Amino acid sequence: MNTPRSSSPPLRSPEQLRGDPDGLVLVTRDDPGFEEARVDRIFNRRLPGRQPAAVVRPETEAEVVAAVRLARERGWQVAVRSGGHSWAQWSVRDDALVIDLGGLHELEYDQETGIVRASPSTPGGAELAPYLAERGRMFVGGHCPTVGIGGFLLQGGQGWNARGWGWAVEHVVAVDVVTAAGELVRADATQHADLFWAARGAGPGFPGVVTRFHLRTRPLPRHFAHTVQAFDLADFDEVMTWLHDTHHTVADTVEIVALTKTDPRLAPGPVLLVTALTMVDDEQEADQALAPFRKNPALDRAILVLDNEPTTPEAERARQLEDNPEGHRWAVDNAWLSGPASEVVPAMRRAYTTLPNEKAFTIWFSMAPLRELPDMAFSVQSEVYLAAYVPWEDAAEDERHLTWLAGAMADLAPVTVGQYLGDSDLRRRPHRFLSEEAWGRLQQVYADRDPDRLFVGYLA
Ligand SMILES: Cc1cc2nc3c(=O)[nH]c(=O)nc-3n(C[C@H](O)[C@H](O)[C@H](O)COP(=O)(O)OP(=O)(O)OC[C@H]3O[C@@H](n4cnc5c(N)ncnc54)[C@H](O)[C@@H]3O)c2cc1C
């Protein structure tokens, strides 16, 4: 069954029809509506000045093929947009043809195989999750409901309970891709395996347009429960040292996130929250999985304790939406951390205890014990992921917020072993996101698949 989704803002108007043989509708720089087409679906409103040559919003796979061929004919590079949520606005590229996939709407679940086919602009939480839940299934989509699965999956995809269930991209069984040669192919473990390998981790460096993901789904857990403990920031060192030394022992059904944020319901200033969300089949299993958090040595000083309280995927997604407001300017950065608590915890202090405004938050996301990765481009991770998120509205505050973020990340440098593409802006602070071996192999994929560099690649 194909499910219609909410329609994208209309881009077609008679005066914009260019009469191309394939009927493609291009919005070029001189067209009314160009600015809207350039950035209307971009989440981070600290908008870049970069000026594409044109934007096209195909409504069929055949139109994607035509768009790639047209770019080649006209000597344009190609940039791709799925959900428009990359913090560094990777789809807005100078002089390129932007292929905006917001017009492709496909969502189809196969009960026999448990595989769902989805268009890249599908928001993982807002559309894919409820669609699958109705069928008793789930996908390990992104935490914020509005993130498109396209960019999310290509860069790895840190979805629900990544520490236990793996990177979302490990659930991709095939991708349909329009290649630089303008051919539509299916890439999986047995055919076009080089593209399949690259599609699982190359992120915005992927040389092709993915038009469809084939995703392995999981049974929807019957019971969601969480433990939440809130602390004064004075307890930061003690709590985080304990967590650093404990998280690898917690059951792999538990997603563990420690974050600082401001929540006036708890305290006037920022607080440290230790959160553990378990997705299991019954209350008893949840109770066992969450038991280690009762040993937190600072528990008697907690401002708030919820212990093994039932929750729902909807409630968790609503909280994510609240934390990630639309219409804001954002600066975001991240690091994979490694080392003993005595080195890692002090290095995190500035990122955690000096948030620059009341909407900013910093997360610590457990990936321990580290799982071995399959053979795919995604290849850099560590036990601890830290990311700092700073939203604000007034452009006059840009400098102050960017300076704070740069300082917080600089403190982390001695314990940083890499970064995750999903929360990166490679122009500001590039770090290793693929292993050396994977990077070398990706260069070979480019040489074979896109020797003329039709696709724009990394913005670095
Ligand atoms: C509020 C918010 C919450 C987030 N939460 C999470 C999270 O929980 N976990 C996580 O891992 N990440 C998270 N992210 C990061 C997010 O996954 C990345 O920014 C991702 O790139 C967004 O995908 P997109 O399709 O929406 O973005 P886009 O900006 O549309 O895509 C980013 C780039 O990926 C490439 N690309 C995208 N689609 C295709 C395609 N079909 N074919 C070829 N190339 C393509 C292009 O180079 C494109 O420019 C979050 C981001 C935001 C804004």
What's the CA-to-centroid distance between 150 and ligand 1, angstroms? 6
* Residue 191 pLDDT: 98
The average pLDDT across 240-254 equals 98
In this structure, what DSSP letter does residue 412 have?
H
Which of the residue ranges 75-79, 146-150, 397-401, 439-443 would you say has the lowest mean pLDDT? Answer: 146-150
pLDDT band at residue 356, thresholds of 50, 70 and 90?
A: very high
- Can you state the angle between helices 398-412 and 341-353, rounded to 10 degrees? 170
Q: Is the pTM above the cut of 0.75? A: yes
* Spatial distance between the Cα atoms of 74 and 65, rounded to a whole number of angstroms: 14
* Residue 22 pLDDT: 58
The average pLDDT across 53-64 equals 96
Is residue 122 lining ligand 1, measured as CB closer than 6 Å?
Answer: no
- The percent of residues above 90 in pLDDT, for the chain, comes to 93
Is residue 148 lining ligand 1, measured as CB closer than 6 Å?
Answer: yes
Mean pLDDT of the chain: 94
Is residue 142 lining ligand 1, measured as CB closer than 6 Å?
Answer: yes
Q: Which atom of ligand 1 is nearest to the CA of 144?
A: 3
Q: Which atom of ligand 1 is nearest to the CA of 152?
A: 17
Q: Which atom of ligand 1 is nearest to the CA of 83?
A: 26
* Residue 18 pLDDT: 43
- Can you state the angle between helices 236-246 and 341-353, rounded to 10 degrees? 130
252 contacts 164 by C-beta, under 8 angstroms = yes
What's the CA-to-centroid distance between 293 and ligand 1, angstroms? 32
Is residue 52 lining ligand 1, measured as CB closer than 6 Å?
Answer: no
What's the CA-to-centroid distance between 145 and ligand 1, angstroms? 12
pLDDT band at residue 329, thresholds of 50, 70 and 90?
A: very high
* Residue 5 pLDDT: 38
188 contacts 173 by C-beta, under 8 angstroms = yes
pLDDT band at residue 23, thresholds of 50, 70 and 90?
A: confident
Beta-carbon contacts of residue 358 (< 8 Å; ≥ 6 apart): 262, 270
* Spatial distance between the Cα atoms of 369 and 377, rounded to a whole number of angstroms: 21
Quick: pLDDT tens for 433-452: 999 999 999 999 999 999 99
* Residue 82 pLDDT: 97
Is residue 96 lining ligand 1, measured as CB closer than 6 Å?
Answer: no
Is residue 151 lining ligand 1, measured as CB closer than 6 Å?
Answer: yes
What's the CA-to-centroid distance between 343 and ligand 1, angstroms? 32
The average pLDDT across 115-124 equals 97
What's the CA-to-centroid distance between 23 and ligand 1, angstroms? 28
What's the CA-to-centroid distance between 408 and ligand 1, angstroms? 24
- The percent of residues above 70 in pLDDT, for the chain, comes to 95
Is residue 157 lining ligand 1, measured as CB closer than 6 Å?
Answer: yes
The average pLDDT across 404-418 equals 98
pLDDT band at residue 222, thresholds of 50, 70 and 90?
A: very high
More confident residue, 139 or 4: 139
Is residue 424 lining ligand 1, measured as CB closer than 6 Å?
Answer: no
pLDDT higher than 70, residue 97: yes
* Spatial distance between the Cα atoms of 140 and 35, rounded to a whole number of angstroms: 34
* Residue 143 pLDDT: 84
Is residue 205 lining ligand 1, measured as CB closer than 6 Å?
Answer: no
pLDDT higher than 80, residue 3: no
Is residue 378 lining ligand 1, measured as CB closer than 6 Å?
Answer: no
Is residue 154 lining ligand 1, measured as CB closer than 6 Å?
Answer: yes
Which of the listed residues 44, 46, 50, 80 should we mutate to test ligand 1's pocket, taking the one with most ligand atoms within 8 A of CB?
Answer: 80
pLDDT higher than 60, residue 14: no
DSSP per-residue codes, 170-195: GGEEEEEEE-TTS-EEEESSSSSHHH
> Could you tell me which of 123, 167, 139 has the C-alpha nearest to residue 320?
123
What's the CA-to-centroid distance between 152 and ligand 1, angstroms? 4
* Residue 308 pLDDT: 98
Distance in angstroms between the alpha carbons of the first and the last residue of the chain:
41
Q: Which atom of ligand 1 is nearest to the CA of 82?
A: 30
What's the CA-to-centroid distance between 410 and ligand 1, angstroms? 25
* Residue 11 pLDDT: 47
The average pLDDT across 5-12 equals 42
What's the CA-to-centroid distance between 36 and ligand 1, angstroms? 20
* Residue 144 pLDDT: 87
Is residue 82 lining ligand 1, measured as CB closer than 6 Å?
Answer: yes
Q: Which atom of ligand 1 is nearest to the CA of 157?
A: 11
323 contacts 315 by C-beta, under 8 angstroms = no
Beta-carbon contacts of residue 442 (< 8 Å; ≥ 6 apart): 198, 202, 205, 377, 434
* Residue 159 pLDDT: 95
Quick: pLDDT tens for 297-308: 999 999 999 999
The average pLDDT across 61-82 equals 97
> Could you tell me which of 144, 67, 113, 69 has the C-alpha nearest to residue 322?
144
What the chain holds in terms of domains, given with CATH numbers, is 21-102 (3.30.43.10), 105-220 (3.30.465.10), 223-423 (3.40.462.20)
Q: Which atom of ligand 1 is nearest to the CA of 455?
A: 47
Is residue 167 lining ligand 1, measured as CB closer than 6 Å?
Answer: no
Which pair of tokens denotes residue 456? 């724009």
What's the CA-to-centroid distance between 101 and ligand 1, angstroms? 13
449 contacts 179 by C-beta, under 8 angstroms = yes
pLDDT higher than 80, residue 134: yes
Q: Which atom of ligand 1 is nearest to the CA of 168?
A: 11
pLDDT higher than 60, residue 418: yes
